Structure 1
Amino acid sequence: MSERYGIGEVAKKLQVSTRTLRFYDQKGLLKPTKAENGYRFYNEDQVQQLQVIIYLKELGFSLAKIKTLLQADHAQESLALLVNAQLQNNNEEIEKFQTQQKQLHDLQKILTKQSNLELTDLTKMMTNETILKKFRRRMLVYGLLLDAIEIIGIILAFYFGKRGNDIGVIASVGIMLLVVVFGAFKLSLSYYKAVAYVCPHCGHTFVPSFRTFMFAAHTPKMRRLRCPNCHEKSYCLEVGR
């Protein structure tokens, strides 16, 4: 005869509450055996099944999925499908949390650099920041395209040079320089029109002149500018307009 365990004993053995065991009973996951005297108990096999339920719950499976698995005729195949689905769900959750973490870091940077931020401006600022990130990615693609044009121009100039075709060399270099310089100017102008700057001292948001923008020292997300409001010169946070 297999050993019997009362609800309290099982709860202590598996380090769960008796309320959890009763909840599993109500959901039809695993019902304890009822003796003639009304005493409810679990046998050894049921305790092992409870361990499986608790383990699957810790892995993130819902009680409904666990119940389906326990009732399945081909448990291993069903478990494999559930594991794949749970992994996909976890990956989506991880991606969601990574995005959330990045947004929190962006907000932290804004709060660190801007002392007089109004909460009413927060939504607009974060939306503009999202738009600016997408714009930066497009700028990167266009920049790589200009690099490709420059490389093609150099290759063509080398090709014509080896064949003594001076006109081909001049044409290749001239066209390449014209496209690259004009493209770089247009990219800079487009970027300038998409950004503004926040003074870390007074919180004032402003747009410098294009000349100042072009020649100011900068990092990927900050530019050393003089604030027109408080007249302090410092690295100002770049935000979307």
Structure 2
Amino acid sequence: MEYAVNAADGTQIAYTVTGSGPPLLMVHGSFLTHTIWRTFGYVKALRGSRQLILVDNRGHGRSEKPHSPDAYAMGTIVGDLTAVLDAVGTKTVDYLGYSFGARAGLALTAAAPERVRSLAVGGGSHGAQAGAFDRLFFPGCADVLEQAGMDGFLEAWNEHRIFPVDAGTRTVFSANDAQALAAYIRACDADPGLPDEVLQGFTQPSLFYVGSQDGTRLDDTRAAAALVPNSELHVIRGFDHSTTMAASADVLELLERFWGN
């Protein structure tokens, strides 16, 4: 991994670059790392035709993990992404993000449209998301992270699930810094999102995708796609918010047509 530094607060952001071709910035969702793109085959499929810029968001993976909610303001996240692009030495990229990565991509496009050549985002939202993590996991999840750590969080989550947390998910989540993720959740709850008129002003070719069973993001994704001029909307049948990343064959087919490869 290499590191870029956000000059606004000095936080180090981990990233890695692989492949060759037009640059593609790939940004993961909450509680995960850049390795999710490898796990589900995106890197293998794309590195022959793209220069892939894979980022660990602050608070995740090998990036630094501040414990203050103020450190996770969306404007700061945008600063992280532009710092990575500057470190790589690329001015303009195609963008691919899922869940929080989609939200960050919309914010990056709004704040620095000259850096985004095209936008492909899945399972995201541009609106306010207060309470989204409580709905995704369980009420008071940030409090549990702060007070009981990641083990306590996983046990509480288990009690609210129909099926137990699988071993793979438990391993990935256990590697996280509980205090950092609690701060991250509180910042996400406070983020007001983007006004509709900002998305109406996007000029980049844009693709939105979402799982048909994604009760947390289906309507949000449809609403965002309806605002962006000449955008594409694709609903991937049979997948929910947690599993759409695994629908890589479907997503890669959409991307291939979108990019005109």
TM-score under structure 1 length normalisation: 0.21
Higher strand share: 2
Task: State the structure with more CA Rg.
Answer: 1
TM-score under structure 2 length normalisation: 0.20
Higher helix share: 1
